[in-house]
Structure 1
Amino acid sequence: MAEKYNASNIALEQILNFIKSGEIAIPEIQRPFVWKPRQVRDLIDSLYTGYPTGYFIISQSPNMKLKDGTLSEGKKIMIDGQQRVTALMTAIMGMEVINANFEKKRIKIAFNPLANPENEEEIFKVQDNAILRDKRWIADIAEVFKPTFDLWQFVNEYCTVNTEIRGSELNKILMQLMDIKNRQIGVITLNRELTIDEVTEIFIRINSQGAKLNQADFAMSKIAANTNYGGNVLRKAIDYFSHLAIQPDWYGDMCKDVEFIATPFANKLKWLKDDREDIFDPDYNDILRIAFMYKFNRAKMKDLVSLLGGRDFETREYKEDIAEVSFQKLTEGVMDFMNEYAFSNFVLTIKSAGFISNKLINSQMTLDFAYTLYLLLHADPNIDNSKIKHYVAKWYVMTTLTSRYITSPESVMDTDIRRIKERGFVAYFEEVEAANLSETFWSVGLVQNLETSAINSPYFNTYLAAQIYNGDNALFTNGGKVSDLITVIGDVHHIFPKKYLIRNGWTDKSKYNQIANYTYLDTQVNKAVSDDAPYIYFSKAFEQCETKQLIYGNITDLDVLHKNLKQNCIPENIVEMWNTDYDIFLNKRRKLMAHKIKEYYYNL
């Protein structure tokens, strides 16, 4: 069996020179440096004292055929060890790093030749004003590592102001410090013939901390390492969008990156500073996946990695023109993803279907495909634009109800995209709908799916979306919408009160917490109900319509109450139900909920 990687030891100075020359790319070098200065200090101290600092893992891109027919050596990308190398570049080579505020700064590490570790004195410290005033400290070790550093002159000058140390002793200490650059670092270079799945598996197995590197991470590394086709800027745009989607107020910090602000991407992101919507806050995985599916009609992220590397799937060669076209298409896809009109209208589409809160979103993959579909349909001249929101909403609800993108999502998405392209969306949609939403699904399958205690179940969330879509009132209220309780002050409560059930022997948590026993209820109404049996408090609600004396909520009209019960899928004979009727209640309510979801779906 062929070796999957080559392990070797390389002098630290050589590794840094490889990076400085560009022979090894570090994709993270243009991103904010997340290590704290103290971590940089600790790394230098470990190197000085001879402690191990872990492996660096390098992935090799295959050789690529250039446009003139010649071969170009595949680029090497560091996929693990990026933060450590960046720390060394700033501390030893004097390189500036980008901090969290997108300001270029040095992290300067100071060295004290007179420190006595036995007395717990620190040999290294992060430079501060006190160190600059203390003649014992070498304020910045990067000065010692410069090619122009004059060791003899420095020893004489230092010993003149620090008479307690002899020149020969200082010379020995400084030589030990300078020997850091000769420290042997373990480097694992992965075979360039490995598939993306194999590279991912090796990374997970080797990485001592078990950090999971997914295929989107590889794609982002490949993007950032490619400066020929603007990958470094594209990488920033993707990162910045996902950051702004969650923290719009961060826009001011982003503007400090003057190089990025001068790019076309900056205007594409500007609208996010005023965006407070949290239905869809995509991370880099989502942005990459959607842009890729939309522009390439593929869904497997390993294919994106290969295409960005220039792979020709037919000849299995790597060609520069394929890489160039792939970067261009991906950039276009990301640009379209970021379009304010498209993004905002997609979110509006999801909300108009009743999914008004991120609490109702079960699957990010399902949402990702829905936005991909939105972009695809807008680009399809055969689709009536006035029906796009209708199609996207129905597809989203259908795929949520059937958990279409939960198991092997990439494979299913890949199939869907290819068949939409081959058959046209409308024909394929009708085919999928007929196959998955039969009468048996509505009357049996969905009823069975509603037999669960998972509060974040896609079926319960779709039921709530149906209530929101229909403008239903919460139980026992006239004018108090379910939508208001979900987004503002409400919470789900038990129709058969939990304490009442437990008191009567229903002690199984998965039983009394069935979603068919849940409804959104005003807090004051819930307090008034307390732990009364359903036949008691529902009877009082009916009596309230005669006495006009408010006990629960504000309904005093019998017709309004019947309508309210129907809106909340409460069986009419609830006024007769005791704890012994709980199973009967659950079965009846599941059927009512399933029927409501069905009507909602076909009314979308």
Structure 2
Amino acid sequence: MLIFRRFEHLALYLRKTYANPLWVSVNDVISRGAIEILDELEETLSLERDKRRVYGQRLGQLERIKEYRYPVMIIHTDDYEEVTESFIRINSRGTRLREAELAMAQLAYHWPGALVKEFETALEDYEQADYSLEARFLMRCFVAIGTNQSRFRYLGNLWKKGQSELESIWKQTKKAVDHTINFLRNNAGIESSEWLPSVNALIPLVVYLSKTNGRLSEAETNGLLFWFLEATIHGRFTGSPETKLDQDLRAIAGTTPLEDLMANIKREVAKLDITPEMIEGKYQRHPFLPLVFIIFRANKARDWFTGTTLSSTNVGPEHQLELHHIFPRAVLIQSNHFDAHEIDDLANIAFLSQKANRSILKSFPIDYLPQIEKERLQAQEIPLEEDLWQIEQYRDFIMKRRSLLTQAINGFLGNLGKSWL
């Protein structure tokens, strides 16, 4: 089933997204009409006039698909390979599908039922485990394990394999993806895909764990995690990832895979030590934000007020994890001395439960920080010098916390990678 979101995104049906009223069934819009769906949304969400107008326009555009005129071509053959090839050629003349979708069309021909019975079932399982992945990611992993390269355009030899061999490759892929998620959960504290800057960085992990059949020594575990974190914070797979992925897949296929993976990173990053300047910047989409959370989890950080261990999987809305401005936005804006870049700096961010965050939303640090146990502040690398908690000392506070975060990051990564540096 296809579902449609308010931002005009299409996606495959998953239980978690289907429960969100802002995702609506494409079939429902086309069969029942945009107005009826909009009325349901208004009743459920108490829409304001402006939102009702915008949502109505978008749903109306979707419903007007019924008015399109489509050319029909009848192919007089029952040869599924010819039908698949026709689909790919016709598609190349119209709106281009991604190469991943075309590869999945080929897979559907060579292994009927693979996408529905295997891929979609796996995606739902991962969704329930708070890892929201996409079919194209699974397809990339499948291709990488089956061909030892990542490009969808070079799959001729893959399709020459029989269905039983394709099924075997999928079993290896599924097993390795399962292990990768457990590896990140248990060794890095990454409990949700929300903390993954790039899912492409998972692909070498999947292939590595498939090659070793999931068996890792302590040194390999630390080395693999070290490589993954270095790859993500240095943006190894941003942009077009295929060249970098193929480099890493060749490294994994060799006799010294971890050493060669590290060498790939060192060719791009002359010095792996982190500096305070690298941490500077707005926290939104900052490549170091997930690593900072991982380190705080390793520090056994607790919520400042409830004492609950920081976790993105805590139960109940009051215990959901939120990003907290240590010097609250409202306080800094009111002072009229700091711009948005300074206010949202990564060094001004801590992790708290929703309840705790809301309770100190507009409080001055000098008023609320003294109430918190020092050990809980230290676990999130908060400077303990109370003179830095004054609004006038905000910039000095940021400089000091950046220094503490830098030391923590270098210490954490250095301990993981000491056998591989």
TM-score by length of 2: 0.71
Alignment equivalent of 1:283, drawn from 95, 116, 134: 134
Alignment equivalent of 1:348, drawn from 182, 197, 205: 182
Alignment equivalent of 1:468, drawn from 267, 282, 297: 297
Separation in 1 of the partners of 2:260 and 2:208? 13
1:413 Cα offset (Å): 0.3
Structure 1 residues 593 and 491: alpha-carbon distance in aligned structure 2, compared to 1, 3 A threshold: same
Q: What is the identity, as a one-letter code, of the residue corresponding to 1:493?
A: H
Q: What is the identity, as a one-letter code, of the residue corresponding to 1:293?
A: A
- Give the aligned partner of residue 501 of structure 1: 332
1:448 Cα offset (Å): 3.1
- Give the aligned partner of residue 324 of structure 1: 161
1:424 and 2:256 are equivalent in the alignment:
yes
1:307 and 2:143 are equivalent in the alignment:
no
1:292 Cα offset (Å): 1.6
Q: Deviations over 1:475-515 (max 9, x none)?
A: 466x4322378774231211112111111114633331222
Secondary structure of the structure 2 residue equivalent to 1:53:
coil
* Preserved contact between residue 324 and residue 357 of structure 2 (Cα < 8 Å): yes
* Preserved contact between residue 474 and residue 481 of structure 1 (Cα < 8 Å): yes
- Give the aligned partner of residue 232 of structure 1: 112
Secondary structure of the structure 1 residue equivalent to 2:282:
coil
- Give the aligned partner of residue 171 of structure 1: none
Alignment equivalent of 1:213, drawn from 90, 97, 103: 97
- Give the aligned partner of residue 598 of structure 1: 410
- Give the aligned partner of residue 336 of structure 1: 172
Structure 1 residues 507 and 51: alpha-carbon distance in aligned structure 2, compared to 1, 3 A threshold: closer
1:564 Cα offset (Å): 3.0
Secondary structure of the structure 2 residue equivalent to 1:324:
coil
1:300 Cα offset (Å): 0.8
* Preserved contact between residue 222 and residue 308 of structure 1 (Cα < 8 Å): no
Q: What is the identity, as a one-letter code, of the residue corresponding to 1:471?
A: K
* Preserved contact between residue 476 and residue 564 of structure 1 (Cα < 8 Å): no
Structure 1 residues 376 and 470: alpha-carbon distance in aligned structure 2, compared to 1, 3 A threshold: farther
Separation in 2 of the partners of 1:481 and 1:51? 54
Q: Deviations over 1:453-482 (max 9, x none)?
A: 2434331111001111231223466x4322
Q: What is the identity, as a one-letter code, of the residue corresponding to 1:370?
A: L
Counterparts of 1:375-394 in structure 2, within 5 Å, are 375-378=210-213, 385=217, 387-394=219-226
The worse-fitting range, judged by mean Cα deviation, of 504-513 and 484-493 is: 484-493
1:395 Cα offset (Å): 2.6
Separation in 1 of the partners of 2:392 and 2:376? 25
* Preserved contact between residue 223 and residue 308 of structure 1 (Cα < 8 Å): no
Structure 1 residues 74 and 470: alpha-carbon distance in aligned structure 2, compared to 1, 3 A threshold: same
1:583 Cα offset (Å): 2.3
1:51 Cα offset (Å): 8.6
1:433 Cα offset (Å): 5.5
Secondary structure of the structure 2 residue equivalent to 1:483:
coil
* Preserved contact between residue 534 and residue 574 of structure 1 (Cα < 8 Å): no
- Give the aligned partner of residue 398 of structure 2: 586
- Give the aligned partner of residue 489 of structure 1: 320
The worse-fitting range, judged by mean Cα deviation, of 572-581 and 350-359 is: 572-581
Separation in 2 of the partners of 1:523 and 1:240? 33
Structure 1 residues 519 and 223: alpha-carbon distance in aligned structure 2, compared to 1, 3 A threshold: same
Separation in 2 of the partners of 1:51 and 1:505? 54
Separation in 2 of the partners of 1:73 and 1:355? 42
Secondary structure of the structure 1 residue equivalent to 2:398:
helix
Structure 1 residues 508 and 407: alpha-carbon distance in aligned structure 2, compared to 1, 3 A threshold: same
Alignment equivalent of 1:569, drawn from 367, 381, 404: 381
Structure 1 residues 424 and 286: alpha-carbon distance in aligned structure 2, compared to 1, 3 A threshold: same
Q: What is the identity, as a one-letter code, of the residue corresponding to 2:97?
A: L
Separation in 2 of the partners of 1:384 and 1:484? 27
Count, aligned residues: 351
1:364 Cα offset (Å): 1.6
Q: What is the identity, as a one-letter code, of the residue corresponding to 1:510?
A: H
Q: Deviations over 1:35-60 (max 9, x none)?
A: 67977xxxxxxxxxx994236699xx
TM-score by length of 1: 0.51
**How much identity, in percent, do the aligned residues show?**
18
* Preserved contact between residue 450 and residue 460 of structure 1 (Cα < 8 Å): no
Structure 1 residues 57 and 497: alpha-carbon distance in aligned structure 2, compared to 1, 3 A threshold: farther
- Give the aligned partner of residue 62 of structure 2: none
1:298 Cα offset (Å): 0.6
Secondary structure of the structure 1 residue equivalent to 2:237:
coil
1:78 Cα offset (Å): 6.3
1:73 Cα offset (Å): 12
Structure 1 residues 409 and 486: alpha-carbon distance in aligned structure 2, compared to 1, 3 A threshold: farther
Q: What is the identity, as a one-letter code, of the residue corresponding to 2:170?
A: V
Separation in 2 of the partners of 1:412 and 1:451? 26
For structure 2, the 5+ residue unaligned runs are 1-25, 32-66, 417-421
1:333 Cα offset (Å): 1.7
Secondary structure of the structure 2 residue equivalent to 1:239:
helix
Structure 1 residues 239 and 568: alpha-carbon distance in aligned structure 2, compared to 1, 3 A threshold: closer
Separation in 1 of the partners of 2:234 and 2:378? 25
Secondary structure of the structure 2 residue equivalent to 1:232:
coil
Q: Deviations over 1:4-34 (max 9, x none)?
A: xxxxxxxxxxxxxxxxxxxxxxxxxxxxxx8
Secondary structure of the structure 2 residue equivalent to 1:493:
strand
Structure 1 residues 347 and 576: alpha-carbon distance in aligned structure 2, compared to 1, 3 A threshold: closer
Separation in 2 of the partners of 1:573 and 1:588? 10
* Preserved contact between residue 147 and residue 158 of structure 2 (Cα < 8 Å): no
Separation in 1 of the partners of 2:343 and 2:164? 55
* Preserved contact between residue 291 and residue 333 of structure 1 (Cα < 8 Å): yes
Secondary structure of the structure 2 residue equivalent to 1:370:
helix
1:452 and 2:281 are equivalent in the alignment:
yes
Structure 1 residues 79 and 573: alpha-carbon distance in aligned structure 2, compared to 1, 3 A threshold: farther
Secondary structure of the structure 2 residue equivalent to 1:355:
coil
Q: Deviations over 1:349-389 (max 9, x none)?
A: 1012121223212212122332222212328xxx7555554
Structure 1 residues 514 and 335: alpha-carbon distance in aligned structure 2, compared to 1, 3 A threshold: same
Moved over 6 A (4+): 36-39, 484-487
Q: What is the identity, as a one-letter code, of the residue corresponding to 1:368?
A: I
Alignment equivalent of 2:236, drawn from 377, 399, 404: 404
Secondary structure of the structure 1 residue equivalent to 2:350:
strand
